[in-house]
Amino acid sequence: MTDRLPASCSKGPRALPGRVRPGGEADSLRPVPSVVVLDYGSGNLRSAERALVRAGADVEVTADRHRARTAGGLMVPGVGAFAACMRGLTGVGGGDIIRGRLAEGRPVLGVCVGMQVLFERGEEHGVRADGLGVLPGTVRRLRAPVLPHMGWNEVDPALGSALFDGIPPATRFYFVHSYAAMTCDGLVSTSNHGERFVAAVERGPLAATQFHPEKSSAAGARLLANWVGALEPVR
């Protein structure tokens, strides 16, 4: 969640070009993983698309349920308010898509509010909204003197993390948020702004980051390359 709701969260999915493959002609013949960026009216879709292409994925931005359900990987972006983004996600059947993928062992990556909505609930301005409940816990306002938490901050990666493979401890990533989860099951990487919070989580086929890897320079590019590299390529 952020303090202000961008117009993108209050609208339906936007029309964007379909799929983008990495590289040129030679790359078009090489098997690469397919990734859908779920378009539910929220998130930095173009930025996410470009970053995933650079990471080596065949990327499609779409709200199509079948494509989102069957792609090699699914990214769920998100900016704005928890409740508004949950409404947008519900409008495209996002809950069913995500739960169905996880039940089948298909990878999902949530980013920023796309991570927050994976939890059971979110609290904002005294109002509690239900999340998808695929991760236990509540997203609440950070107890920090300055909000939003905006800018670069160190992340302490979980021991054995696949997302952070090759990324040194205390590497900085880019955050923009006022709300976060404090605890979570799985491999939990943390950061600190006023208090320690969940910066990333990995649990089976599910991965999620509170920070924006697509805005996090070389470290974010490495993290996305780690995630894309673990996906099954399209044959």
Which residues in the chain come in under a pLDDT of 70? 1-30, 234-235
As assigned by CATH, the class of the 7-136+206-229 domain is alpha beta
Q: What would the pLDDT profile of 8-33 be if each residue is shown by its tens digit? A: 343 444 434 455 555 554 455 668 99
Quick one: what percent of the chain has pLDDT higher than 90? 81
Within 10 angstroms of residue 198's Cβ, the number of other Cβ atoms is: 24
Q: How far is CA 170 from CA 7, 75, 143, 189, 199, in A?
A: 34, 25, 21, 11, 12
- What are the sequence ranges of the domains in the chain? 7-136+206-229
3-state secondary structure of 111: strand
Contact 221, 22 (CB under 8 A): no
pLDDT for the residue numbered 7: 35
Which residues form the catalytic set?
Answer: 112, 212, 214
Evaluate if pTM is beyond 0.75: yes
Q: What would the pLDDT profile of 183-210 be if each residue is shown by its tens digit? A: 999 999 999 999 999 999 999 999 999 9
Contact 92, 40 (CB under 8 A): yes
